[in-house]
A and B are shown apart, each in its own frame.
Chain A
């Protein structure tokens, strides 16, 4: 089992607010890990630290065996390997669905256009939106937008995918299609870290679940253990509220 990402003693503050406190976390290749916890517990910040959208104050982030330091590493290269899906999709509104997907391969990887378009269309096929390649994001439903966003992240062929509350901004009837797409991805062996409030999904799809509270990891375990037999009082309390 190959280690994909390891976090050691990670700390992050926003001003006086200490958001992440000595976080230790390891994710192996093909693991699916869900981060759960109340709002403000630091899960999203932790995820954002992993692709350096937030820069940690101290601690180590080791990616694929190499410690990444924002001072010495080209973060643009690191981020190519770390896909990210946002709560609010953040599709590019001035580009069509296909243009959204092929933008980074074309501009960053300098993939030739024919290849990029071919791969882009395959990815859209995979998320079930092949027929929408030519429309602008404003014409799509929330669920469709999020699936395009997933295809866009996959287009860079990342080693790991980060999901920041991917279904929180969706109407309830659209959540299923996005979770389905993510489930397919998990089955293919993609390494995934998912911040979510969908406990059913975490329990069913995630290999591991991490419960965070107040900037700390309270409990980490196999999803079935954490949900069925939580060890910590706080975890029990949280689960009794959300399940």
Chain B
């Protein structure tokens, strides 16, 4: 029995042309999912970074525990836990349970990025602020944080790109984003290889657009300092 070729270029081209309306629609869902999870993840991440930097031990323990648990368990487990578990308490749509799971997952890494960036700022900066009569909080807000934010941009950009790719796992709770759309098309046409290469190209495109944006932000921030 001849199984047919694994990859057919003609099929690839025709499928690329035929499927793009579906993928554009799905791509928008992926973008929404990424933006929602990254924004919420950044807010939660900053909160836990501040807790971890707190002088109060109990706050540091809470933040440390949170980060350890989130980083120590697979994203797919978190997505399932939220979708199947949490939805028994509050009804969450598939989109929002996936977005929240992704946000929580990203937040642990983002917290560590902000903590690291903040701690990398020279202690002399804090001392200079305090010696001028600024309070600890004011010194943090006016002197340390603005510098830490700048330092956090490259690793944050990196984390956002990971978040974009990780959003594909939302397919498993039936969010019609890029990956689930590809699965559906592949199952229908049996053009498996072609379809997954096509969806790979869409992810790559999105990542490249994202990278350009991150680089632009990075350069803008560098410019204002030099």
Contact = CB atoms under 8 A, between A and B. Distances in A.
B74 interface: no
B127 A53 contact: yes
Given A51-B131, A88-B124, A93-B225, 5 more contacts: A76-B135, A79-B131, A82-B131, A86-B131, A92-B125
A76 B134 contact: yes
A contact face: mostly helix, strand, loop, or mixed: mixed
A19 interface: no
A108 B225 contact: no
A153 interface: yes
Contact of A107 (B124, B125, B128, B134): B134
A156 B147 contact: no
A183 B58 CA distance: 50
A182 interface: no
Interface of B: 122, 124-125, 127-128, 130-135, 138, 142-143, 146-147, 150, 224-226
Contact of B127 (A90, A138, A139, A156): A90
A172 B144 CA distance: 31
Contacts of B142: 103, 107
Contact of A156 (B122, B130, B133, B135): B133
Nearest to A86: B124
B127 A108 contact: no
Given A86-B124, A107-B138, A94 B132 contact: no
A146 interface: no
Contacts of A88: 122, 124
A46 to B, nearest CB: 15
B106 to A, nearest CB: 26
Contacts of B124: 86, 88, 90
A153 B146 contact: no
